[in-house]
Structure 1
Amino acid sequence: MTNSDIDIDDALKPEALTTGRSVFLAFQGGGARGIAHVGGLSAVNNLNLTISGVAGTSAGAIMAALVAAHYRADALFNPEARTHLLQSVANGRYQRATALFGKDWSAIRTLRRAAGIGKAIAGWVKTSGLDLIWSQVWSQRKGKAAVVAAGLVLALMVVWHVPRPALAVLLALLAGLGWVAIRYLKGLASLREVRELVDVAIAEGLNIKSREITFEQMMEHGGLPLKLVATNVSGKSLELFSVETTPTAVVADAVAASICLPIVFQPWTFAFARRGQDEKVEQQFIDGGLVSNLPAWTFDEDRALQPDTVTVAFGLQPPRSAEDAKPNWFTAALQTVVAGPPEVHFRGIDRMVHVPLESAITVLDFDADLDTLGKDVEKARSDATLQIKLHVTAVPEAVRQVLADLQEQLGGALREVFGLEAPGVDEPLFRIALAIQKPTDRKSLAIAYEVGHPVSQRGVRFGLAASDVGAAWQGNPRVSRVSDEQVYKDAVWTGYVPVYDREPLESDDGSLTPAPGEAAVVAVFDSARPLPARIWDDRDEFEDFWLQLSEAASEFLAQPDVGQYFRRSAAWV
């Protein structure tokens, strides 16, 4: 028995498109790197996926708001035509991204240069070995005391020996530096123009004549469900803006609140009312990346109501070669704010696919040329297309086809061997489900695929150490009649077959155990119809039936790369 007529690799070819699959999109913050999100959206558009809602933080908030207003990727930026949204929205008032910051752009550019100088100095310190000397001195208690004492002595020497006029100049310089520091802490640039652009773009995208578009107005005019995250400084909390939580809040204000990267942008303050509040209250906000920079979790309830919809979470990251280099402290801190660890964003989220998009530009490269931006967008589109097809569309469909073929071919072969009559066109001999251990799971596996079950159990978990499914993976496959541990309650018999991608290890007693580190995959066979009495009532005959089924299934599923594709296609479970 073979599945040679099914080639899962075909699913990853560019021409293997799919249509209609519903997805939620979440966009991560990342400053100027957010241009890569256009490539991610382009992949979604080209795969003809249906967008059911969008969420975003910081730069991702701008992207989410535009997508919610039904902008497609080629309207935001078309690398081939060298056209972009700024050329058309608001009568082309801005043309370039830096025009959104006005005279404040020079301050942002100065900050970027200072960060570059700091990085160069940090590199020199590292290569010279001074960082090792400093770390050894500072790591010791006496070393800290010596450094503090030396600083005090130096300060006293300056006070005693430096002439008063020179000391006055020095103090004036320190005061000036203090003023600069205070200004930097308050934020270098205003977001007024960005806020205006977003408001106009939403109105034009949804063909709304008025301005100051609120979340409820956006929905009334056909916009997609939109969720934005910001850090509420006034309330010292996370703020989730949406039609459910803040229906009368202006979307452009929520976007401005979400993108206030500390130091770079001034905090955004505006008045709004949460649902149930009669009066608006003025609140101050800074960048949402401080609390949740990739808000895939905002669709948890929506996914529960739409079980066939998957969340695609677009992340942002530098190219790997650049990521491996050790950044200076400022760059590292800024990157932490605008990116954050993905483990935090995804913890406990089911049916979610993380698609990291690489960007060669830095967080503050708002003046990058069109060629550079185009390369980022094209690479992001290519990478996103592959990942989405692998985890969401073509490959999962191919996996289901493999299981359907197994059901048909193996069922037909068993009928011939045991002389069974076909119960009917719509009633196969058995049903199949796949339980798969996700890469982030350590103690359990969950139902990922099903063929022939009227009531879905997808997502139901089973412990590796305390279940029949887990026991099968640990080398103890079995078949059972009706019991409390049946995966599907209508089943009259259930059997379990482990699916190994690597050669399992054989114990002294002849039993097989999985190779270390291999993610668990178990095929679950069952039926709601009892077998004929001559098989059902004869224990030996029933065991022979199961032996032939399990051996044939193992051979079918052990073909090259089948188990690997099963594992790799389960990120959305």
Structure 2
Amino acid sequence: MRADAVFEGGGVKAIGFVGAVAELERNGYTWERVAGTSGGGVVAALLAAGYRAHEMRNLLNAFSFRNLMAPTVWHRFGRVGVAFRFWWRLGQYSGQYLEEWTGQVLKQKGICTFGDLPAGKLRLVASDVTNGRMVVLPDDLPQYGIDPQRFPIARAVRMSGSLPFYFDPVVLTVGRRRVLFVDGGLLSNFPVWLFDVEGVPRWPTFGFRIVSKNEGQARTVTGPLSYVKALIQTMLEAHDKRHVEEADAVRTIFIPDCGIRTTQFDLTDADKEKLYQAGVEAARRFLARWNFERYVRVYRADSMLV
């Protein structure tokens, strides 16, 4: 059975997506097109390259999230050094590790650029903060004078996952201008509409979302630094958490976050396993009630009349 998949941003919690994907694959689903934002973009890129859920599980279990926040020379000088680096680079950490790791993992499947994939196979969402707009990669790259076929997927993954304040923006030079890109969740954390078409769809598009029981929980703010962190956490964890349209909710797998924060980079093996199993169970509950024909009849009836 064929399906498209759209993964919400979730930072380290994206491991839960892998559990859900594993359950769907066990039930016979294969992936035509995939898309994602931030941590969901990593999962989407691996699926597009041909990785199966069990392979992704092994990769992410071995992945050291702490390496994303490896100290730089500026961190030797404490908060003053961190503040100076942020002023200079607009981030506390480079984000280079994510790009390098993704590039190495994709290369094992013979994939480097978007041109190595079938057209339309993968879409990643980033935020262009210079021009104030959402960007879909690779579709929008020609607007920046860039050939999508030659653009590295690992760089796009980094663009989509450059959490503001934590990681440096990715900078592209367009003519004489520098254009800055950050986490796609800043503008669209759950673009489940990316693969929607007019008329009756040939196969379903499944959304994958992380949900929290602690939404709205108070955060401690004691000064400028904690204020900025609270601001970013609010953006990452509350964006698009308002009411989801029913037509989208019925095709979305909602995965509990197990009390884990988006930026909890010190995940233990037990944390990873909890997230994975939460994804498995969420997918089982979803499949028990999912019916594509009913979805088309109830939510795409207007399309059937065209």
Provide the TM-score with structure 2 as the length reference.
0.80
Tell me the equivalent position of 2:298.
448
Tell me the equivalent position of 1:295.
191
- Relative to structure 1, the CA distance from residue 101 to residue 488 in structure 2 (aligned partners, 3 Å threshold; closer, same or farther) is closer
Tell me the equivalent position of 1:354.
252
Tell me the equivalent position of 1:183.
85
Counterpart of 1:253 in 2: which secondary structure? helix
Q: Distance in 1 between matches of 2:271 and 2:74?
A: 21
1:238 matched to 2:156 = no
Rg: which structure is higher?
Answer: 1
Conserved 8 A contact 1:25-1:54: yes
Q: Distance in 2 between matches of 1:351 and 1:317?
A: 12
Tell me the equivalent position of 2:231.
333
- The Cα offsets for residues 82-122 of structure 1, whole Å up to 9 and x where unpaired, read as x43575xxxxxxx5232344335996xx9xxxxxxxxxxxx
Conserved 8 A contact 1:54-1:225: yes
2:54 to 55, 61, 74: 74
Tell me the equivalent position of 1:464.
none
Q: Distance in 1 between matches of 2:74 and 2:211?
A: 26
Tell me the equivalent position of 1:33.
13
Counterpart of 1:23 in 2: which secondary structure? strand
Q: CA deviation at 1:326?
A: 3.1
- Relative to structure 1, the CA distance from residue 354 to residue 325 in structure 2 (aligned partners, 3 Å threshold; closer, same or farther) is same
2:67 to 99, 116, 137: 99
Tell me the equivalent position of 2:224.
none
Counterpart of 1:52 in 2: which secondary structure? strand
1:310 matched to 2:208 = no
Tell me the equivalent position of 1:519.
none
Counterpart of 1:366 in 2: which secondary structure? coil
Q: Distance in 2 between matches of 1:190 and 1:98?
A: 13
Q: Distance in 1 between matches of 2:27 and 2:140?
A: 30
Tell me the equivalent position of 2:145.
none
Conserved 8 A contact 1:267-1:285: yes
1:283 matched to 2:191 = no
Q: CA deviation at 1:371?
A: 1.6
Counting only pairs closer than 5 Å after superposition, residues 17-32 of structure 1 correspond to structure 2 as 20=1, 22-32=2-12
- Relative to structure 1, the CA distance from residue 286 to residue 324 in structure 2 (aligned partners, 3 Å threshold; closer, same or farther) is closer
Q: Distance in 2 between matches of 1:281 and 1:247?
A: 22
Tell me the equivalent position of 2:144.
none
Tell me the equivalent position of 1:504.
none
Unaligned runs of 5+ in 2: 142-147, 222-226
Conserved 8 A contact 2:74-2:82: no
Q: Which moved further from structure 2: 309-318 or 97-106?
A: 97-106
Tell me the equivalent position of 2:153.
251
Provide the TM-score with structure 1 as the length reference.
0.45
- Relative to structure 1, the CA distance from residue 305 to residue 85 in structure 2 (aligned partners, 3 Å threshold; closer, same or farther) is farther
Q: CA deviation at 1:37?
A: 1.2
Tell me the equivalent position of 1:375.
274
Tell me the equivalent position of 2:59.
84
Q: Distance in 2 between matches of 1:235 and 1:387?
A: 39
- Relative to structure 1, the CA distance from residue 291 to residue 347 in structure 2 (aligned partners, 3 Å threshold; closer, same or farther) is farther
Q: CA deviation at 1:356?
A: 1.7
Q: CA deviation at 1:381?
A: 0.8
Tell me the equivalent position of 1:459.
301
Conserved 8 A contact 2:113-2:152: yes
- Relative to structure 1, the CA distance from residue 335 to residue 40 in structure 2 (aligned partners, 3 Å threshold; closer, same or farther) is farther
- Relative to structure 1, the CA distance from residue 368 to residue 85 in structure 2 (aligned partners, 3 Å threshold; closer, same or farther) is closer
Q: CA deviation at 1:353?
A: 1.3
- Relative to structure 1, the CA distance from residue 46 to residue 105 in structure 2 (aligned partners, 3 Å threshold; closer, same or farther) is farther
Over aligned residues, Cα RMSD in angstroms? 3.5
Q: Distance in 1 between matches of 2:194 and 2:30?
A: 18
1:219 matched to 2:118 = yes
Q: Distance in 2 between matches of 1:197 and 1:247?
A: 21
Q: CA deviation at 1:196?
A: 1.3
Counting only pairs closer than 5 Å after superposition, residues 17-166 of structure 1 correspond to structure 2 as 20=1, 22-77=2-57, 83-85=58-60, 87=62, 96-104=64-72
Conserved 8 A contact 1:65-1:226: yes
- The Cα offsets for residues 512-533 of structure 1, whole Å up to 9 and x where unpaired, read as xxxxxxxxxxxxxxxxxxxxxx
